[in-house]
């Protein structure tokens, strides 16, 4: 089925080289604009390599079938994702399967972008640059939702160092930044194409005058768009620079970073030494943070770094408890199960108090209080028949009492679950992981009237998930003031995956206009301001800490209140163009059948 009705069969001069070359070069440039290289200006060139395939009547050359062009785009985009996400394979040899599977899936989005942009361009007759930008946003938006969503490595993340530009993310999310970049790339392509055509001796009669007018319009359009972004960006930056000097009450938070790499199948003795070293590192860095900031009120330890666990969820005294997979010897008798669970919880309660007592005994200073702690551990729910396990953040009082827990809602493919693993449990024999269950509630807590909203690991890479957590109004009638991200990036062994994750956290801060505090095992831990500025951070693969001082939020962004409205508008335009193309194609087929009869 042909969704695009060309006006003629002649080869468009815009397609001067093989489509394979355009696909290869564009993916190479796209790779350079993201970590590890991070050449942000390349993001303005990469989409321009695919614009010719959108502009021409047929995305082929020398008789090559269009499906061959799309396949080459898919193949090169798979290679792009393999290179960008190569850090996913480092934890264990079996993680290669997840790395390859995810890249094979993500590769479909580049040919999908070109196809949908062509439909928008040729069906709705929108300007080329605008059709490409709308299509790109639509495709990124879909990628953020399908199969639990994967928004890491978005085009907008290449621009996090351009603070003036990313301020528009508080209007349309990172999608707005990606839109401007692709729109700019398209306009640059059109300007360069017109200049090149204008200089050719075999140009059509009258082309110079017409081209000059079009060139001026496109140049003015590009300048106006960038100028508008710059003015808006500078206005917002000045606003948040002024608010950073606000003398209102703040809460001091210590973000602790250790260096513990994820390893499997270690001998028991080596595993014990590793755990002891991990505990010593986090204790030591916490003590140093408490000494530097005597009035520290909250310590944040990354995902899986809090040593006490798994926590037991037992419900009320009359709740029926079930036997977990471990220990297998627990009796089915309810009294014995309850007694066993109580013994475990009692021992864990003593451990909580020991940890907090040790840390807070090193806090000193005139009028100093005691620090709470939130850290990542695991938990098992004995009240459910299948005794599900959770990736958990536990909040502890200065005395070591459990105040609240948060079970991670948004799980990571191939790290916490395997797609179709429920239908085919044998898949879990291929990877050294056990399936985790998703939580169903969010958690907030307050210190001196300032409300925190914690999330775990890659939840911060999913824009709509983080937005949902901040949008919710708490019992105090206010939305959270601060985003907390607890993550264990030791899976990636210091690779550029850490940079990609940190860039996602920067975008969340700007989109929601909240400070984002990240405590990451192996890095990158940091304090990101609502403007996207990084106030402090600990470098990758180094032990250390960051002292962040945060206060009440200054207001809600448009994106926080209305979400993916801009992306949905782009999706609607794409859907309308696809519908129009389908109707036109069916009509053409019907007419052809009538003529043949």
Same domain, 383 and 529: yes
Q: Confirm if 109 and 136 have CB atoms less than 8 A apart.
A: no
Measured distance CA(94)–CA(428) in Å, rounded = 11
Whole-model pTM above 0.95? no
Residue-level pLDDT at 208: 55
Residue 558, in any domain of the structure: no
Residue-level pLDDT at 108: 96
Same domain, 274 and 353: yes
Total number of domains in the chain: 2
Residue-level pLDDT at 364: 55
Count CB neighbours of 597 within 10 A: 5
Residue 556, in any domain of the structure: no
- 477-to-202, 449, 453, 472, 473 alpha-carbon distances in Å: 70, 12, 14, 9, 6
Give the residue carrying structure tokens 């840390």: 359
Residue-level pLDDT at 366: 44
Coarse DSSP helix, strand, coil percentages of the chain, rounded to the nearest 5 percent: 50, 15, 35
Residue 431, in any domain of the structure: yes
The single-letter DSSP state of residue 22 is H
The single-letter DSSP state of residue 310 is P
Largest CA distance in the chain: 96
Element (H, E) at 52: helix 51-55
Same domain, 192 and 279: no
Residue 5, in any domain of the structure: no
**DSSP-assigned states of every residue in 133-182:** HHHHHHHHHHHTTGGG---TT-GGGGGTT-HHHHTTHHHHTHHHHHHHHH
The single-letter DSSP state of residue 204 is P
Residue 13, in any domain of the structure: no
Measured distance CA(424)–CA(434) in Å, rounded = 13
Left if phi > 0, otherwise alpha if psi is -120 to 50, otherwise beta: which for 38? Answer: left
Nearest by Cα to 133 from 243, 51, 197, 225: 51
Same domain, 159 and 207: yes
Residue 540, in any domain of the structure: yes
Same domain, 167 and 311: no
Please state whether beta strands 372-381 and 311-313 pair in parallel, antiparallel, or not at all (unpaired). parallel
Side-chain half-sphere exposure of 161, counting CA atoms within 13 A: 12
Side-chain half-sphere exposure of 55, counting CA atoms within 13 A: 22
Same domain, 278 and 419: yes
Same domain, 454 and 486: yes
**Residue by residue, what is the 3-state secondary structure of 459-518?**
HHHCHHHHHHHHHCCCCCCCCCCEEEEEEEHHHHCCCCHHHHHHHHHHHHHHHHCCCEEE
**Residue by residue, what is the 3-state secondary structure of 534-545?**
EEEEECCCCCEE
- 43-to-78, 185, 392, 556 alpha-carbon distances in Å: 18, 8, 37, 29
Same domain, 397 and 510: yes
Domain boundaries, position 322: 251-551
Sequential pLDDT tens for the chain (597 residues)? 444 444 333 344 556 778 888 999 999 999 999 999 999 999 999 999 999 898 887 666 554 557 888 999 999 999 999 999 999 999 888 888 889 999 999 999 999 999 999 999 988 889 999 999 999 999 999 999 998 889 999 999 999 999 999 999 999 999 999 999 999 999 999 888 877 776 666 655 555 555 677 778 889 999 999 999 999 999 999 998 876 656 567 899 999 999 999 888 888 899 899 999 999 999 999 999 999 988 899 999 999 999 998 998 888 877 888 877 644 444 467 788 888 888 999 999 999 999 999 998 866 554 456 899 999 999 999 888 888 899 999 999 999 999 999 999 988 877 777 777 777 777 777 777 778 888 989 999 999 999 999 999 999 999 999 999 999 877 677 899 999 999 999 999 999 999 999 999 999 999 999 999 999 999 899 999 999 999 999 999 999 999 999 999 888 999 999 999 999 999 999 999 999 888 887 777 777 777 766
Residue-level pLDDT at 232: 96
**DSSP-assigned states of every residue in 361-421:** TT--STT----EEEEEEEEEETTSTT--EEEEEEEE-TTS-EEEEEE-SSPPBTTTB-TTT
Residue 4, in any domain of the structure: no
Measured distance CA(506)–CA(535) in Å, rounded = 11
Nearest by Cα to 517 from 561, 484, 494, 491: 484
Same domain, 279 and 373: yes
Measured distance CA(78)–CA(551) in Å, rounded = 43
Residue 14, in any domain of the structure: no
Measured distance CA(274)–CA(276) in Å, rounded = 5
Measured distance CA(9)–CA(162) in Å, rounded = 43
Same domain, 94 and 135: yes
Same domain, 139 and 231: yes
Residue-level pLDDT at 488: 95
CATH number, residue 470: 3.60.110.10
Same domain, 64 and 151: yes
Measured distance CA(256)–CA(9) in Å, rounded = 63
- 64-to-9, 78, 455 alpha-carbon distances in Å: 14, 21, 49
Measured distance CA(129)–CA(182) in Å, rounded = 7
């Amino acid at each position: 089925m042909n969704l695009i009705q060309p006006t003629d069969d002649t080869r468009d001069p815009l397609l001067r080289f093989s489509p394979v070359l355009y696909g290869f070069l564009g993916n190479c440039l796209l790779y350079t604009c993201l970590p590890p290289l991070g050449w942000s200006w390349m993001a303005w060139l990469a989409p321009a390599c695919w614009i010719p395939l959108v502009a021409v009547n047929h995305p082929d050359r020398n008789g090559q079938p269009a499906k061959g062009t799309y396949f080459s785009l898919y193949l090169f985009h798979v290679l792009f994702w393999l290179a960008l996400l190569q850090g996913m394979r480092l934890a264990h040899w079996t993680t290669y399967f997840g790395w390859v599977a995810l890249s094979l899936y993500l590769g479909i989005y580049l040919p999908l972008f070109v196809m949908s942009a062509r439909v928008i361009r040729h069906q709705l007759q929108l300007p080329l640059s605008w059709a490409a930008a709308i299509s790109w946003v639509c495709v990124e938006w879909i990628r953020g939702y399908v199969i639990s969503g994967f928004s890491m490595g978005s085009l907008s993340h290449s621009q996090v160092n351009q603070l003036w530009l990313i301020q528009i993310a508080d209007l349309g999310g990172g999608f707005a930044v990606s839109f401007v970049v692709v729109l700019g790339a398209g306009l640059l392509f059109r300007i360069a194409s017109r200049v090149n055509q204008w200089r050719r001796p075999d140009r059509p009669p009258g082309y110079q005058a017409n081209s000059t007018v079009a060139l001026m319009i496109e140049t003015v359009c590009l300048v106006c768009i960038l100028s508008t972004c710059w003015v808006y960006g500078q206005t917002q930056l000045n606003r948040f620079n002024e608010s950073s000097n606000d003398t209102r009450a703040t809460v001091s938070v210590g973000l602790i970073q250790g260096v513990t790499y994820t390893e499997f199948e270690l001998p028991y003795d080596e595993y014990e030494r590793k755990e002891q070293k991990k505990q010593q590192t986090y204790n030591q860095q916490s003590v140093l943070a408490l000494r530097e900031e005597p009035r520290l009120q909250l310590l944040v330890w990354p995902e899986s770094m809090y040593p006490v666990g798994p926590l037991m969820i037992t419900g009320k005294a009359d709740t029926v408890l079930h036997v977990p997979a471990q220990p297998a010897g627990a009796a089915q008798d309810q009294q014995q199960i309850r007694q066993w669970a109580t013994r475990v919880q009692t021992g864990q309660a003593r451990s909580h108090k020991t940890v907090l007592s040790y840390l807070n005994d090193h806090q000193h200073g005139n009028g100093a209080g005691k620090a709470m702690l939130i850290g990542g551990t695991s938990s098992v729910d004995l009240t459910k028949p299948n005794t599900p396990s959770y990736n958990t953040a536990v909040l502890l009082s200065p005395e070591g009492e459990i105040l609240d827990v948060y079970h991670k809602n948004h799980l990571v493919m191939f790290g916490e679950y395997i797609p179709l693993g429920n239908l085919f449990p044998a898949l879990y024999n291929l990877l050294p992981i056990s399936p985790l269950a998703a939580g169903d509630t969010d958690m907030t807590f307050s210190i001196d009237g300032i409300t925190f909203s914690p999330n775990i690991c890659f939840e911060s890479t999913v824009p709509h998930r983080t937005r949902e957590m901040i949008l919710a109004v708490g019992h105090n009638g206010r939305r959270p003031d601060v985003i907390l991200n607890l993550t264990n990036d030791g899976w990636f062994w210091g690779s550029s995956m850490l940079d990609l994750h940190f860039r996602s956290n920067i975008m969340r801060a700007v989109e929601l206009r909240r400070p984002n505090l990240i405590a990451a095992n192996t890095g990158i831990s940091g304090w990101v301001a609502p403007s996207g500025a990084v106030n402090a951070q600990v470098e990758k693969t180094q032990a250390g800490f960051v002292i962040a001082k945060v206060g009440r939020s200054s207001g809600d962004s448009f994106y926080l209140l209305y979400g993916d409205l801009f992306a949905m508008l782009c999706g609607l335009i794409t859907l309308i163009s696809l519908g129009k193309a389908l109707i036109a194609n069916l009509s053409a087929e019907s007419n052809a059948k009538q003529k043949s009869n």
